[in-house]
Amino acid sequence: MAVAVTPSGKDKLLRNMRFYVGAYDLSGDTRVFGDMENAFDPADITGVSEAVFNFLSAGERLVGIRGYQALINDAANKSHARLKDAPNTEVLSVLFGGGGAPAIGDPAYLLSAIQMQDDRGLDGNVNVLSADFIPYAIDYSAYANNPIGHVLHPATSLTATTTTAGVDDAAQSTKGGVGNIHITVSDAGTWAFKIQDSANDADWADLVAFTVDGTAVTSEQVVIAGTVERYLRIVATRTSGIVTPVVTFARAY
Amino acid sequence: MAKTKQKYVAVRGCENDRTKKRYEPGDVVQDGDFPKRTITNWLKTGVLAKITSMPEKVLGNKTKQEEDV
Closest-CA residue in chain B for A225?
Answer: B45
- Give the model's pLDDT for residue B55: 56
pLDDT, one tens digit per residue, over A161-174 is 999 999 999 999 99
Residue with the bigger pLDDT between B3 and B29: it is B29
- Give the model's pLDDT for residue A57: 84
- Give the model's pLDDT for residue A6: 61
Q: Which of residues 27-46 of B touch A (CB under 8 A)?
A: 34-35, 37-38, 41-42, 45-46
* Tally of CB atoms within 10 A around A185: 15
Cβ atoms of A253 and A145 closer than 8 Å: yes
| A53 pLDDT higher than 80 | yes
Inter-chain CB pairs, A–B, below 8 Å? 37
Closest by CA position to A3, among listed A12, A27, A29, A30:
A12
Chain-chain contact of A203 with B17 (C-beta, under 8 angstroms): yes
Half-sphere exposure of B51 (CA within 13 A, CB side): 16
Find the CB nearest A202 among B18, B42, B45: B18
Chain-chain contact of B14 with A202 (C-beta, under 8 angstroms): no
Contact list in B for residue A192 (CB cut-off 8 A) is: none
- The pTM score is 0.88
If you average pLDDT over residues A31-60, what whole number do you get?
Answer: 90
- Give the model's pLDDT for residue B69: 46
If you average pLDDT over residues A43-57, what whole number do you get?
Answer: 92
- Complex ipTM: 0.81
Helix boundaries (H) for chain A: 79-83, 140-143
Q: How many angstroms separate the first and last alpha carbons of chain B?
A: 38
pLDDT, one tens digit per residue, over B37-59 is 999 999 999 999 999 875 555 55
Q: In whole angstroms, what separates CA A77 from the centre of its chain?
A: 19
